[in-house]
């Protein structure tokens, strides 16, 4: 089952999480060339902080800052836990 | 004391990260009406991450939590209480709901007066601990009274006056209700002036383009500042309790008022 948080509005992103055989991160962003690596780092570090492995994270980004990406991921993870 | 209080939705990053460009003296981040039930958790987490990352020293930040009877009330406070915010704005406030909030936070509280019962129990609300001011919520109040809102605001005159008197008596801020027509520049000016003339210390708004007008109306005018400086200067050299200036008597309350005007003028860089 998939759990999401966020929106398609500018400066926001939609993060979707689902259980997976390994940790995979898929990013689609309007600023992928400039910030793709940074977005991946935010997601990886947040998963690490939360001690989460074996998960598929899909991030559709509309120019979100780091704090937004992190918070949308945390919300999606919380929804998955519940 | 803040002149303007701007509500911004709590689950909208584009508004949050621009909160310091709206030039509002205070910001109220909203967890209540502007956030869908499904997204209450998302708003709390977003605001927590935002305020952990960014610090705003010049702006007072409040969070409008959900009312005390909603299932979100406690979590709204518990997840944000350690953040660098000035306090909470409490909707549908009554003495009992303020008591519930006082049990879980030591931050300042701005109750929203938006029910007939809250209007009747205004004094009881004003004298609770940690109250920074009272905010009139005229839309909900008139809905409960089953009456229409007008630009003149005759239907809320009694409530406005009662709030101003109560807040003044208890030395707390009186914050007027938002003006809801977004693009009516004359309307927001008239409504702000009306509130200021009644004695409100500040006004809330839901549109960023209302902030400039509110700041202007709730600031002392250059004429007031000039006259206040004259009063203070003459008071410093005067040895009697009262004196005459331009043929008018000046005594202690007028000197105190002049001092307040200068404090405000300094705060808003008007000197």
Q: What is the DSSP string of B243-260?
A: EEETTEEE-HHHHHHHHH
Measured from the Cβ of residue B2, the count of other Cβ atoms closer than 10 Å reads: 25
> What is the pLDDT confidence band of residue B42, given thresholds at 50, 70 and 90?
very high
Nearest to A48 by CA among A37, A40, A36: A40
pTM over 0.90: yes
A62 CB neighbours in chain B (<8 A) are none
Residue range B92-120: mean pLDDT, rounded = 98
Based on the fold, state whether residues B140 and B185 are members of the same structural domain. yes
For B111-166, the pLDDT digits (tens) are: 999 999 999 999 999 999 999 999 999 999 999 999 999 878 899 999 999 999 99
Confirm or reject contact between B48 and chain A (CB < 8 A): yes
Nearest to B111 by CA among A34, A72, B120, B95: B95
C-alpha–C-alpha distance, residues B45 and A68, integer Å:
9
**How many independent structural domains does chain B possess?**
2
pLDDT value at position B139?
Answer: 95
Based on the fold, state whether residues B108 and B201 are members of the same structural domain. yes
Based on the fold, state whether residues B31 and B162 are members of the same structural domain. yes
Residue range B6-35: mean pLDDT, rounded = 97
Based on the fold, state whether residues B176 and B241 are members of the same structural domain. no
Q: What proportion of chain B, given as a percentage, has pLDDT over 70?
A: 100
Greater confidence (B126 vs B245) lies with B126
Decide: residue B103, CB within 10 A, 0-12 exposed, 13-18 middle, 19+ buried. Answer: exposed
Based on the fold, state whether residues B98 and B125 are members of the same structural domain. yes
Based on the fold, state whether residues B182 and B195 are members of the same structural domain. yes
pLDDT value at position A7?
Answer: 97
Chain B CA closest to residue A14 = B42
CB B58 within 8 A of CB B92: no
Based on the fold, state whether residues B88 and B208 are members of the same structural domain. yes
For the sheet containing A55-61, what is the strand order? A3-6, A13-19, A55-61, A24-29
Chain B CA closest to residue A8 = B12
> Helix-strand-coil percent breakdown of chain B, rounded to 5?
45, 15, 35
Q: Say if domain A3-81 classifies as CATH 3.30.230.10.
A: yes
pLDDT at B96 over 80: yes
pLDDT value at position A64?
Answer: 97
C-alpha–C-alpha distance, residues B28 and B8, integer Å:
6
C-alpha–C-alpha distance, residues B173 and B126, integer Å:
10
Based on the fold, state whether residues B207 and B233 are members of the same structural domain. no
pLDDT at B187 over 80: yes
Based on the fold, state whether residues B263 and B181 are members of the same structural domain. no
Domain that includes residue B251, residue range: 222-267
Q: What is the ipTM of this complex?
A: 0.96
Chain B CA closest to residue A11 = B14
- Yes or no, beta carbons of B42 and A68 under 8 Å apart: no
Based on the fold, state whether residues B17 and B151 are members of the same structural domain. yes
How confident is the prediction for chain B on average, in pLDDT? 95
> What is the pLDDT confidence band of residue B241, given thresholds at 50, 70 and 90?
confident
CB B6 within 8 A of CB B30: no
Closest CB to A75 among B14, B42, B50 = B42
Backbone φ and ψ of B242, nearest 5°: -130, 155
Based on the fold, state whether residues B242 and B175 are members of the same structural domain. no
Exposed e or buried b for every residue in B197-208, given b needs 16+ CB within 10 A?
ebebbbbbbbbb
- Yes or no, beta carbons of A67 and B42 under 8 Å apart: no
**Shortest alpha-carbon distance between residue B61 and chain A (Å):** 18
Domain boundary among B176, B194, B217: B217
C-alpha–C-alpha distance, residues A7 and A29, integer Å:
13
Based on the fold, state whether residues B213 and B239 are members of the same structural domain. no
CATH of the domain at B100: 3.20.20.60
For A25-82, the pLDDT digits (tens) are: 999 999 999 999 999 999 999 999 999 999 999 999 999 999 999 999 999 999 999 8
pLDDT at B31 over 80: yes
CB B19 within 8 A of CB B27: yes
């Amino acid at each position: 089952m998939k759990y999401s948080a966020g929106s398609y509005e500018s400066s926001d992103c939609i993060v979707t999480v689902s259980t997976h055989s390994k940790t995979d991160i898929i990013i689609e962003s309007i600023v992928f060339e400039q910030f793709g690596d940074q977005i991946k780092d935010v997601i990886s570090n947040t998963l690490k902080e939360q001690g989460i492995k074996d998960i598929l994270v899909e991030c559709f980004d509309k120019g979100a800052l780091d704090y937004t990406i992190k918070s949308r991921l945390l919300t999606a993870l919380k929804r998955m836990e519940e | 004391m803040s002149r303007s209080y701007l509500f911004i939705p709590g689950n909208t990053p584009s508004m949050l990260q621009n909160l310091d460009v709206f030039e509002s003296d205070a910001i109220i981040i909203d967890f209540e009406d502007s956030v869908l039930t499904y997204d209450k958790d998302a708003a709390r987490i977003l605001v927590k991450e935002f305020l952990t990352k960014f610090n705003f020293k010049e702006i007072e930040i409040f969070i409008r939590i959900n009312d005390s009877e909603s299932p979100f009330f406690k979590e709204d406070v518990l997840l944000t209480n350690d953040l660098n915010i000035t306090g909470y704005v409490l909707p549908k406030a009554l003495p009992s709901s303020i008591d519930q909030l006082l049990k879980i936070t030591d931050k300042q509280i701005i109750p929203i007066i938006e029910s007939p019962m809250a209007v009747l129990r205004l004094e009881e609300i004003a004298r609770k601990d940690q109250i920074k001011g009272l905010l009139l919520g005229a839309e909900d109040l008139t809905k409960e009274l089953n009456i229409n809102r007008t630009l003149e605001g005759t239907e809320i005159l009694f409530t406005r006056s009662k709030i101003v008197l109560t807040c003044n008596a208890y030395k707390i801020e009186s914050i007027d209700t938002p003006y809801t027509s977004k693009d009516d520049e004359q309307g927001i000016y008239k409504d702000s002036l009306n509130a200021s003339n009644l004695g409100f210390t500040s006004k809330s708004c839901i549109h960023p383009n209302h902030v400039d007008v509110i700041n202007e109306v709730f600031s002392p005018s250059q004429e007031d500042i000039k006259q206040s400086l004259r009063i203070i200067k003459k008071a410093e050299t005067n040895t009697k309790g009262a004196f005459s200036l331009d043929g008018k008597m000046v005594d202690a309350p007028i000197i105190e008022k002049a001092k307040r005007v200068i404090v405000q003028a300094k705060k808003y860089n008007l000197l």
